[in-house]
Amino acid sequence: MATNNKISLTRYLVEHQRVHNLIPSDLRLLLEVVARACKGISQAVNKGALGGVLGAAKTENVQGEIQKQLDIIANEVLIEANEWGGHLAAMASEEMEGIYVVPHRYPQGEYLLLFDPLDGSSNVDVNVSIGTIFSVLRKPENNGAGVSEADFLQPGNKQVAAGYCIYGPQTTLVLTVGDGVAMFTLDREQGSFVLTQERLTVPADTKEFAINMSNMRHWDAPVKRYIDECLQGVEGPRGKDFNMRWIASMVADVHRILTRGGIFLYPWDKREPGKPGKLRLMYEANPMGWLVEQAGGAASTGTQRILDVLPTQLHQRVSVILGSRNEVEHVVALHAAAATTDAEPATRAG
């Protein structure tokens, strides 16, 4: 029988454990369980109306957002899949106010798992791609004391693994363990994730920006200036025309950027001036920021590298500007110039 040259997720992780000594076996097992849970979520999402799971639940999440039935289902799938394995001490989710400590009937492990179980879920009812975002941290040494929320409050540069699974025309898992970014496509006949791209790289330059333009009047000056210069096109200071995309599903917008480049912005705006942004640091910006950096891109709040932000709250939000490195650096330069009102950065064409 011809041996197919397909490399499964399991083989990729075993080789990263054995050959590159990059990941311990517990982390490999954790990632395989997360991937299996994502397959289960994909099945539920793909059923759509036939599964009777579309539409809103009768509850709100910790963010005060109406939960979709699939938000709750995805959250439960991830909890149930991961709580018994022995590699986790606790989990945190966009859909749960506090942390979920692994019950004492199961062995406690050395890792902390954070996730947005179904990001972009408002799109599920209109059949637009959505996804699961996850981040893995090590549980800090705490001399045998129980795990607490404070253990989760680590900057994104402490992540040991991060990824997402996008539920679209294909179900695709995108993952980093610190050795670049790999993409795995679900082979539904085999029921396994197969390596389809070993090392994703984000082009350093782009002509495509992703932002919710309806918020333009609320943005801060540097973001307004950046978008305005993009809209001026080839006659403007950038000397080139730009395209715009906004799927309103971070997983889908980031997947496009990892695949062909671009810049994604969800900046602070004055609708809720007390909040630094809409997206959450711990289980959206940090994992996506690390993936983009591992693919050669950049991820900034506008004034700071996202992965260096020191968290103070589990569900805190952050301003997000990520994607093609040169474009992100250009937006950061506009923020720096605005901070020193007398300095004006030369708007770099190209």
Residues that bind ligand P6P (CB under 6 A): 119-120, 122, 212, 248-250, 266, 278-279
Report whether 149 contacts 314 (CB < 8 A). Answer: yes
Question: Cβ closer to ligand P6P: 182 or 210?
Answer: 210
Q: How far is the CB of 335 from ligand P6P (least distance, A)?
A: 20
CA atoms lying within 13 Å on the CB side of residue 167: 28
Q: How far is the CB of 324 from ligand P6P (least distance, A)?
A: 17
Sign of CA dihedral 175, 159, 41, 30: positive
Q: How far is the CB of 267 from ligand P6P (least distance, A)?
A: 11
Residue nearest to ligand P6P (CB): 250
Phi, psi of 253 (to 5 degrees): -65, -40
Question: Cβ closer to ligand P6P: 120 or 297?
Answer: 120
Question: Cβ closer to ligand P6P: 100 or 246?
Answer: 246
Question: Cβ closer to ligand P6P: 122 or 197?
Answer: 122
Q: At residue 265, what is the residue type?
A: L
Q: How far is the CB of 266 from ligand P6P (least distance, A)?
A: 6
Q: Which whole-number Å values give the CA distances from 181 to 67, 236, 252, 295, 318, in the listed order?
A: 31, 35, 16, 6, 23
Q: How far is the CB of 119 from ligand P6P (least distance, A)?
A: 5
Q: How far is the CB of 17 from ligand P6P (least distance, A)?
A: 32
Q: How far is the CB of 285 from ligand P6P (least distance, A)?
A: 11
Angle at 191 between CA 190 and CA 193, to 5 degrees: 95
Report whether 211 contacts 268 (CB < 8 A). Answer: no
Question: Cβ closer to ligand P6P: 7 or 246?
Answer: 246
Question: Cβ closer to ligand P6P: 238 or 278?
Answer: 278
186 SS3 class: strand
Q: Which residues contact 141 (CB under 8 A, 6 or more apart)?
A: none
Question: Cβ closer to ligand P6P: 248 or 343?
Answer: 248
Helix (H) or strand (E) holding 321: strand 320-323
Q: Which whole-number Å values give the CA distances from 303 to 50, 139, 336, 346, in the listed order?
A: 46, 29, 7, 18
36 SS3 class: helix
Question: Cβ closer to ligand P6P: 28 or 280?
Answer: 280
Q: How far is the CB of 269 from ligand P6P (least distance, A)?
A: 10
Q: How far is the CB of 222 from ligand P6P (least distance, A)?
A: 19
Question: Cβ closer to ligand P6P: 111 or 226?
Answer: 226
Angle at 11 between CA 6 and CA 15, to 5 degrees: 125
Q: At residue 110, what is the residue type?
A: E
Q: What is the dihedral of CA 118, 124, 127, 132, to 10 degrees?
A: 0
Question: Cβ closer to ligand P6P: 119 or 229?
Answer: 119
Can you tell me which residue has the tokens 């709750």?
A: 72
CA atoms lying within 13 Å on the CB side of residue 320: 30
Q: How far apart are CA 94 and CA 112, in angstroms?
A: 14
Q: How far is the CB of 280 from ligand P6P (least distance, A)?
A: 8
